[in-house]
Amino acid sequence: MTSFAGSQGGYYPVERIVPIFPEILIAAAPFAPWRDAASAIAAALAAGSILFGLWNCRRDIAETTLVSAAMWCAAATIAIAGVELGRAAFPLAESWLSPLRFCAAALSFCPFVAVLGAKRPQHLTWNFVVLSLWGIVSLSALTTLAMQRNDHFVLGDARAWLLWVLILMGLVNYLPTRNRFAALLVALGQVILFATHLPLMRSIPWLTNLPAAPSLALFFFAIALAVSKLGGKPANESFDRLWLDFRDLYGLLWGLRLQERVNAASLAAKWEIELQWNGFPSQGIPAKHREALRQAMTGLLRRFVSHEWIAARLD
């Protein structure tokens, strides 16, 4: 799962997610006969919260190159919840359930990977890279589903460490932004999803045997999306608003790239303006350079967002 934030668009209140909080209590009762059905209902409620939040964000997302990331987020949500609903409706053997859960959970990496390629004009074709990565991560599970040779799905060490790399990459990308808490919640949800396969985690019995782990992970994803919409304190300076909103949406990797390009343009034109990670200098931008800076940032950001998105923050 990747986070979406913006100064416009709908916001759905956290109280819409509160009804799924009993999932934690469900997880604490492993022998309850109604656990599977209640877990499936909790997964459906959490998934509904996420999809509703994405729907409310649709106008903001449509003005950026993050449409594919949002679609991958919706696909991961539907897949994870769908497996849990299918499990409740049609009891599955462990040889089917475990690899199906893994394939669905692996989709949670796709939104972040989609962000890494969210630059025009390659942002659409980048989806083939995202799909390929999902195939690489899920290959062992797909093989188990196709061959059905083992009753218990076991992930190889190389792919197990790859899970850690993907979880930490998504976390690090948004940790220096105002979406850091949402990124922590997403990483926590992914650890819960993959606990039985993660090195350093699979030796913790209470975590690897956590009942209804996918439903609990969806709960954290839903809270993360709600938190990302809260955002942080809005900047007073228009150029700071533009920079901070872009930085929070696209994260560390694209943020550093844009910062580098803006500072290179400033140095070449002798504006004596330096874009820092938290914004432009506190003394402000000289009036004689504002229009040139506007044109430079618009030219750079047009690879990621629309003119309307830029104007909404500058004007």
108 vs 93: CA distance, rounded Å: 24
140 vs 142: CA distance, rounded Å: 5
Answer yes or no: do 50 and 128 share one domain: yes
Domain range spanning residue 267? 238-314
Answer yes or no: do 36 and 130 share one domain: yes
Answer yes or no: do 246 and 181 share one domain: no
Boundary-marking domain end, from 230, 247, 264: 230
Q: Which residues contact 156 (CB under 8 A, 6 or more apart)?
A: 140
Answer yes or no: do 281 and 214 share one domain: no
Helices then strands (H, E): number in the chain? Answer: 14, 0
Q: Which pair of tokens denotes residue 234?
A: 């809005």
Q: Which residues pair with 70 in a beta bridge?
A: none
pLDDT at 14 over 50: no
8 Å CB contact between 114 and 2: yes
pLDDT in tens, 199-232: 887 777 767 777 788 888 999 999 999 988 876 6
Query: Residue 97: pLDDT band by 50, 70, 90 thresholds?
Result: confident
Q: For residue 4, with 0-12 CB atoms within 10 Å meaning exposed, 13-18 middle and 19 or more buried, which class applies? A: buried
Question: What CATH number corresponds to the domain at position 198?
Answer: 1.20.1070
Mean pLDDT for the stretch of residues 146-171 = 83
Answer yes or no: do 22 and 160 share one domain: yes
Residue 9 lies in a domain: no
Residue 5 lies in a domain: no
Considering only 8-12, 81-85, 100-104, 116-120, which range has the smallest mean pLDDT? 8-12
Task: Give the Cβ contact number of residue 163 at 10 Å.
Answer: 23
pLDDT at residue 6, as a whole number: 44
DSSP string, 119-180: STTTTTTHHHHHHHHHHHHHHHHHHHHHH---SS----HHHHHHHHHHHHHHHHHHTTSTTH
Task: Report the domain count for the chain.
Answer: 2
Boundary-marking domain end, from 175, 200, 230: 230
Answer yes or no: do 75 and 138 share one domain: yes
Q: Return the amino acid letter for 271.
A: W
Residue 3 lies in a domain: no
Q: Return the amino acid letter for 308.
A: E
pLDDT in tens, 111-153: 999 999 999 999 899 999 999 999 999 888 888 888 766 666 7
8 Å CB contact between 209 and 281: no
Answer yes or no: do 175 and 262 share one domain: no
pLDDT at residue 272, as a whole number: 79
Boundary-marking domain end, from 230, 260, 290: 230
Q: φ and ψ at 93, to 5 degrees?
A: -70, 155
Q: What is the mean pLDDT of the chain?
A: 82
Mean pLDDT for the stretch of residues 227-253 = 83
Is pTM beyond 0.85? Reply is no
More confident residue, 179 or 273: 179
Extract the runs of DSSP E, i.e. beta strands, from 44-168. Answer: none
Answer yes or no: do 109 and 247 share one domain: no
Task: Give the Cβ contact number of residue 206 at 10 Å.
Answer: 7
Answer yes or no: do 283 and 212 share one domain: no
Residue 226 lies in a domain: yes
Answer yes or no: do 64 and 128 share one domain: yes
Q: Which residues pair with 64 in a beta bridge?
A: 305
pLDDT at residue 231, as a whole number: 65
Answer yes or no: do 74 and 97 share one domain: yes
Q: Which pair of tokens denotes residue 308?
A: 């309307």
Residue 259 lies in a domain: yes
8 Å CB contact between 42 and 19: no
Answer yes or no: do 191 and 252 share one domain: no
